[in-house]
Amino acid sequence: MKLTKKANSTPVDRVLLVILDGVGYTPKDKNFGNAVEAANMPSLKGLWANHPTLQISAHGKAVGMPSDEDMGNSEVGHNVLGCGRIFDQGAKLVSNSIDSGEMFEGNIWKELISNTVNKKSTLHFIGLFSDGNVHSHNDHLKAMIDRALKENVSRIRIHILLDGRDVPEKSALEYVEPFEEYLDSLRKSGKDIEIASGGGRMTITMDRYEADWKMIERGWDIHVRGEGRIFSSAKEAIETFRKEDPKVIDQYLPGFVVGKEGTPSGKIVDGDSVVFYNFRGDRAIEISRAFTEKDLNTFERKNFPEVYFAGMMQYDGDLKIPKNYLVTPPAIDRTLGEYMAKNGISQYAISETQKYGHVTFFWNGNRSGQFDKNTETYKEIPSDIIPFDQKPEMKAGEITDELIRAIESKKYTFLRVNYANGDMVGHTGNFDATVQGLNYLDTCITRLQKAIEEAGGVMLITADHGNADEMYQLDKKGNVSRSGDKPVPKTSHTLNPVNLCLYDSGKRFSLNQSIEKPGLANIASTVLDLLGFEAPEGYHPSLIQRNS
């Protein structure tokens, strides 16, 4: 994996890549709750206006999603940023596997079914319940249910994690009600199938990066043990919680159990089969470990049923989590991080817990750990365990302190950082808090600009996808949706491009405006170009242009 030096090229000493998570680009005349435009950001806006800046694609086919109607997300964005190429991602791989029938011909699916049929046990599905196509898709769930029933599975229970993050913030019933109609049609033909439990994705089950194992414990108690507030249906649970707290949005709804006369309808017990049907890995690893690791001591499981567990995909290929999976994830090889490590180029990666895995695991092609501990330093700043609109600055200040120390040390040739504010605060739907978070973030950019200039380096500023740039829902006519006199918040990602800005105080470089359809995949080669190396075979071309 030898990198080739560029001929007649004077490299820079160091490159800093700043990823402003969720900070997309929306034209000023399309203000659908544009927190980026509303924010007071003299440093960033000055950089965008006065230094080389391109709008690049960060969604759809540009990041390996099935179509350009699909949002980008942090996982696929960082995969593409880190490998310089575009691989088919989870949503597309799963859809193709279902459409071709390959999933159902695989050994894992057959073992799930045979375990259930032979033991006359229950097949459980757990996952994010929406069509957001970021972590999961309900069409995948229905396809597996239909196939399982054809293969004589006699009892199915579904445990739904309500979204309100990749889809509108109070849309849960728009998914639950038609799904219950679908289940009713199956029950009329004698099928034993029900929703057994659920709760908001930011309340139970879908923690990531071990930020809050209590979320996993709450999900375990709800799904496995059937311990929680019992309702006659998921619809009743959602409507009740909304009446009790009209401000609560779907992702933060409490956990609930569905049952009759105080008896849960679908506890998970010995002999059952369980499918966690999310295809995205970051929020699937901990719950997978809870079902598969007997000696896990991060929380008290109280009981550990012997089940056959499978994930939709293998969420961590290095740690083999989980062992059983239905669809093979993309094999992302020859990442920028590996090339640098094999060529002795020193690297520094930093973020807070909520995005730490994105600048490490996803950046490195879904690979845990470092390629070379001698040349790589990874720094995690622990995230607060609170709703992020309560502290919209998040850990940006602490991240910047550490990052500037790393820059000033001059130990590292390539540094990368993810600031989570635009995404994590944006997902709360709180426009004012998102603006506050961006305002604070701008003060960090001011400090970085000075530090990288004094260190003689170049700074690239971009984003992995949009979010904060469009925070109001639109109606079918393209107008802002309103509830009374207030806009309806939008908590999902956007289909907008993102800025790529080059800050070079020496004005040695500019960005090539002639590259057709530039996207996140061009950034790896851009970094290497600045450092004086040719792009590896298959990498999308560099966007750098040297000024005469």
Same domain, 293 and 394: no
Which residue range is the domain that position 396 belongs to? 15-88+332-546
- Say yes or no: 252 and 315 in one domain: yes
The stretch 4-11 carries a mean pLDDT of 88
Residues 161 and 172 in one domain: yes
- Cα torsion 218, 223, 224, 230: sign: positive
- Report residue 266's pLDDT band, with 50, 70 and 90 as the boundaries: very high
pLDDT tens for 149-175 read 999 999 999 999 999 999 999 999 999
Q: Is the same domain home to 251 and 395?
A: no
pLDDT of the residue at 32: 82
Instruction: Report the CATH number at residue 145.
Output: 3.40.1450.10
Q: What is the model's pLDDT at position 349?
A: 98
CA 319 to chain centre: 19
The predicted structure's pLDDT at residue 267: 97
Same domain membership, residue 291 and residue 183: yes
189 is catalytic: no
Mark which of 284, 302, 327 sits at the end of a domain: 327
pLDDT of residue 246: 95
Domain count of the fold of the chain: 2
CA distances from residue 335 to 84, 282, 379, 511, 518 in whole angstroms, order as listed: 7, 19, 20, 23, 19
Radius of gyration of the chain measured on its C-alpha atoms: 24
Same domain, 311 and 340: no
Q: Which of 20, 15, 16, 17 is nearest to 419 (CA)?
A: 20
**pLDDT tens for each residue of 92-109:** 999 999 999 999 999 999
Task: Out of 296, 327, 358, pick the residue that ends a domain.
Answer: 327
How far, in Å, CA of 425 to CA of 429, rounded?
7
Helix (H) or strand (E) holding 285: helix 285-292
What does the alpha-carbon distance between residue 88 and residue 92 come to, in Å, rounded to a whole number? 6
pLDDT digits (tens, 9 = 90+) for 444-480: 999 999 999 999 999 999 999 999 999 998 877 778 8
Instruction: Specify the pLDDT at position 112.
Output: 98
Half-sphere exposure of 206 (CA within 13 A, CB side): 28
Q: Does 8 reside within a domain?
A: no
Q: What's the pLDDT at 233? A: 97
Mean pLDDT of 180-192: 96
* Least confident stretch, 65-69, 273-277, 285-289, 369-373: 65-69
Is the pLDDT at 380 greater than 90, yes or no? yes
Tokens matching residue 196: 């057994």
7 in a domain, yes or no? no
Q: How far apart are CA 404 and CA 387, in angstroms?
A: 27
Same domain? 315 vs 361: no
> What local confidence, expressed as pLDDT, does residue 474 receive?
81
The confidence score (pLDDT) of residue 484 equals 84
Question: Would you say residue 437 has pLDDT above 80?
Answer: yes
Spatial CB neighbours of 523, under 8 Å, sequence gap ≥ 6: 17, 81, 84, 460, 462, 500, 543
| Residue 529 is assigned to a structural domain of this protein | yes
Closest by Cα among 270, 380, 356, 361 to 315? 361
Residue 6 lies in a domain: no
Higher pLDDT, 434 or 8: 434
pLDDT, residue 84, reads 98
Task: Evaluate if residue 220 carries a pLDDT over 80.
Answer: yes
**In the structure, what pLDDT confidence band is assigned to residue 485 with cuts at 50, 70 and 90?**
confident
Confidence of residue 263 (pLDDT cuts 50, 70, 90): very high
**How crowded is the C-beta side of 109, counted as CA atoms within 13 Å?**
21
Alpha-carbon gap, residue 283 to 515, rounded angstroms: 35
Shared-domain flag, residues 98 and 130: yes
460 and 538 within one domain: yes
Does residue 5 sit within a domain?
no
Which residues are bridge partners to 546 per DSSP? 509
Q: Structure tokens of 352?
A: 């807070």
Across residues 498-516, what is the average pLDDT?
A: 95
Average of per-residue pLDDT across 287-316? 95
Can you give the pLDDT at residue 127? 98
Residue 274 lies in a domain: yes
Whether 202 is in a domain gets the answer: yes
Phi, psi of 159 (to 5 degrees): -115, 110
Cβ 51 vs Cβ 508: under 8 Å: no
Give residue 330's pLDDT band: very low, low, confident or very high (50, 70, 90). Answer: confident
Q: Which pLDDT value is given to residue 50?
A: 97
At 495, list the tokens.
């289909």
Pairwise CA distance, residues 89 & 328, whole Å: 10
Would the pLDDT of 31 be above 80?
Answer: no
pTM: 0.85
Neighbouring-strand partners of residue 480: 474
Residue whose structure tokens are 């550990």 = 304
Q: What is the pLDDT of residue 113?
A: 98
**Residue 177, φ and ψ in degrees, nearest 5:** -65, -50
Percent of the chain predicted with pLDDT > 90: 89
The span from the CA of 142 to the CA of 160, in Å, is 13
Q: Residues 414, 463: one domain?
A: yes
Q: Which of 43, 57, 67, 74 is catalytic?
A: 74
pLDDT of 454:
96
Q: What average pLDDT score do residues 377-400 get?
A: 96
Give yes or no: residues 231 and 192 share one domain: yes
What does DSSP say about strands 498-503 and 458-462: parallel, antiparallel, or unpaired?
antiparallel
Q: How far is CA 137 from the centre of its chain?
A: 14
Calpha distance 228→136 (Å, rounded): 25
**CATH number, position 496:** 3.40.720.10
Q: 449 and 336 in one domain?
A: yes
Mean pLDDT of the chain: 95
Alpha helices in 301-428 (DSSP H): 336-342, 353-357, 396-409, 421-424
pLDDT of residue 90: 87
Domain boundary among 327, 362, 395: 327
Does the pLDDT of residue 42 top 80, yes or no?
Answer: yes
Tell me what the mean pLDDT of segment 300-322 comes to.
92
Cis peptide bond upstream of 305, omega within 30: no
For residue 314, being part of any structural domain is answered with: yes
